[in-house]
Structure 1
């Protein structure tokens, strides 16, 4: 019986592709400016799930992609590298905006190098990503990824407008997480189909898979901020609470709250008037109203939609791994 987690199984399945991708990541993050290389290395070499580039590689293979020429770096590997640089760029910027202290269990880049260097390092990786895309030369790829980048920026700005606002609707919250997370998941998958010269039907199916997977992924992230152990999560637990971020568990707990509980949420989230004991009380209210269970139930609904989106692809090991990844996203602890 195979006891490996689905993510590891996908990594094993795509081992040769990921080896090339990691090699290209190391090569293209180099710069004549030492600080740039150090900054990029701090986050990229630290690892992470590499889920977004994996989705590009896997989507290309699901659509039957085969390298046509020998001796050059395959297109799907180059574009997976570009996706990873874009993602890493957003992490560097996010940690500055959120004043985060930890990333993947280590000091965040803004703590080590300062805010200015982190922002500029993120800009470098963003530019490097578009250099790689330009070298690839596909206008379809550029269109999909550039739209995703615009959507990511909109999502982050929309999150700023909803911060500390308990009147935020579930629909508006979904707009936020689509922008900040799901859009890049969707683009990662669609790019794989484009590289494989697949049909528009396949492109749209994989885009929908990525979108729903990304929605599930962010819902689980929002739940983990109130349930995970810090050493497992790799970042400080309770950051969303301290920043007054409006996430699904908070919205559910507030909707179900009685008058006294509503006053508590309004004080700690809207007014950001918090004491050292407030996080513990917030957790008790979240548990009382089963807000985490509802969040994970909603995440599973999106995971099921992701699986439904790719039903028309032929059955096989890789197709099964896509389904396993979707459901694993909901059960993960980090």
Structure 2
């Protein structure tokens, strides 16, 4: 787990020399060149031969269509709500990462794939790995095929209902042929779709929890349909994603992605109840009213979270800040970076890569995910609702202490009581914003995001040189420079 006290920010000096040039001197030419090349890619007016979206345009172009067919239901209103967020223009970063990683990993020589036999790129053709019993190698090599008989899945004759689980999205031969041509395995493409389904389900739930009124430039799901329908649609998406996940027929990937779903919930609870800054674990805030939590009966052991051991007023200010940063970064991992890191690791597992590549894919997703959310938290202070496609300045109004205000608190201890009461009193939000400006909290947050960006680029250097890896480098840099 990351501790704020141990964070060493790599602040890049400004001036004539580029960051890439400076890093060439500091870390070696290979890594410095990667940063310098990627920096040039994101400069306005510079031709970009490694555009991430163009490289997988065929797959991204049909992403929403394929997902819509996966999540279709026999109920027309459920169809409408479940597909609502896929209609709008989203960033689609998560499936993009999976697809680009898939293409980059395709360049690894067969002899370096320790989890795969040459020319047998499917888990059903592989020998058992690390004691995995043959019971997990189900019949059928294609992720479009069901494991359980359809009449059992549906509980009704599948021929008389319109249900996506009863028919393939496209011709299976065409599906396999297309992906083989593009260097993407069918199961990796399906993983990209599953990842976006899980993410979108979390958005539907988050918007209800956060009382959001807009998402992707239009009414949020809870406003357009109602809280109940938005929650149910999110649950339905997770159910459909779980079915598709099982059809990948890889128990390790199922374990990873299922854990990512649980992490999303854990992260949301950490955000709802900050046990560092609000150490009372016996009550919760319920629409502005304090509500006592029922006492445990003792039948089920309930552990006290490690973050809540020391009350706010019994340790030093520096220890408080360090604990708050540790809590913030862990919450950020769970809410955002977990899905990116575990889907990246799953991509490498499905490609049969060796342990070093699998670990670097995981760390790449983790570092990129942390960078992505930290930038998101920074943009909440610096951009407009029109650019974001969702309410700007919402974090403070929701009582959230993200990196900019935590950096401000580090220099201004008097901000602590405002953070502890979640900026709930009149004038608290305005005071916090002013303090962030005075202490340069946004600038320090950018430096923190740069650190994770640089670490993600280092992870990519373990992959073979390819156009897809260059596109991932560009994507990594663009996360830091985005405005929405």
1:25 aligned onto 2:25: no
1:284 aligned onto 2:284: no
- Compute the RMSD of aligned alpha carbons: 2.5
Q: Which residue of 1 aligns with 2:463?
A: 313
| Unaligned segments of structure 2, at least 5 residues | 1-39, 108-118, 123-171, 177-185, 279-311, 313-319
Classify 1:172/1:315 alpha carbon distance in 2 versus 1 (closer, same or farther; 3 Å). same
> d(CA) in 2 for partners of 1:290 and 1:72?
51
> d(CA) in 2 for partners of 1:266 and 1:47?
40
Q: CA deviation at 1:325?
A: 1.4
> d(CA) in 2 for partners of 1:7 and 1:150?
38
Is the 1:6–1:328 contact (alpha carbons within 8 Å) kept by the matching residues of 2?
A: no
Q: Which residue of 1 aligns with 2:114?
A: none
Q: Which residue of 2 aligns with 1:296?
A: 446
Q: CA deviation at 1:252?
A: 0.8
> d(CA) in 2 for partners of 1:86 and 1:16?
22
Structure 1 segments of 4 or more deviating over 6 A? 4-8, 65-69
Q: Which residue of 2 aligns with 1:71?
A: 174
Q: Which residue of 2 aligns with 1:270?
A: 421
Classify 1:271/1:48 alpha carbon distance in 2 versus 1 (closer, same or farther; 3 Å). closer
> d(CA) in 2 for partners of 1:114 and 1:53?
28
Classify 1:159/1:253 alpha carbon distance in 2 versus 1 (closer, same or farther; 3 Å). same
Q: Which residue of 2 aligns with 1:254?
A: 409
Q: CA deviation at 1:268?
A: 6.8
> d(CA) in 1 for partners of 2:79 and 2:464?
42
> d(CA) in 2 for partners of 1:157 and 1:176?
9
Q: CA deviation at 1:114?
A: 0.9
1:95 aligned onto 2:203: no
Q: Which residue of 1 aligns with 2:79?
A: 37
Deviates more, 1:173-182 or 1:59-68: 59-68
Is the 1:300–1:327 contact (alpha carbons within 8 Å) kept by the matching residues of 2?
A: no
1:227 aligned onto 2:382: yes
1:185 aligned onto 2:345: no
Q: Residue 235 of structure 1: SS of its match in structure 2?
A: coil
| Unaligned segments of structure 1, at least 5 residues | none
Q: CA deviation at 1:200?
A: 2.0
Is the 1:39–1:109 contact (alpha carbons within 8 Å) kept by the matching residues of 2?
A: yes
Classify 1:5/1:172 alpha carbon distance in 2 versus 1 (closer, same or farther; 3 Å). farther
Q: Which residue of 1 aligns with 2:266?
A: 154
Q: Which residue of 2 aligns with 1:122?
A: 234
Q: CA deviation at 1:4?
A: 7.5
Q: Deviations over 1:76-114 (max 9, x none)?
A: 221111111100011111111111111112111001111
Residue among 355, 369, 372 paired with 1:217: 372
Q: CA deviation at 1:206?
A: 0.8
Deviates more, 1:45-54 or 1:165-174: 165-174
Q: CA deviation at 1:274?
A: 3.8
Q: CA deviation at 1:271?
A: 5.3
> d(CA) in 2 for partners of 1:145 and 1:191?
8
Q: CA deviation at 1:136?
A: 1.9
Is the 1:20–1:77 contact (alpha carbons within 8 Å) kept by the matching residues of 2?
A: no
> d(CA) in 2 for partners of 1:6 and 1:40?
35
Q: Deviations over 1:38-66 (max 9, x none)?
A: 11222111120111011111111111089
Deviates more, 1:1-10 or 1:106-115: 1-10
Normalising by structure 2, what TM-score? 0.64
Is the 1:56–1:190 contact (alpha carbons within 8 Å) kept by the matching residues of 2?
A: no
Structure whose alpha-carbon radius of gyration is higher: 2
Is the 1:186–1:211 contact (alpha carbons within 8 Å) kept by the matching residues of 2?
A: yes
User: Larger helix proportion, structure 1 or 2?
Assistant: 1
Classify 1:256/1:199 alpha carbon distance in 2 versus 1 (closer, same or farther; 3 Å). same
Is the 2:50–2:468 contact (alpha carbons within 8 Å) kept by the matching residues of 1?
A: no
Considering Cα pairs closer than 8 Å and 6+ residues apart, tell me whether 1 or 2 has the greater RCO: 2
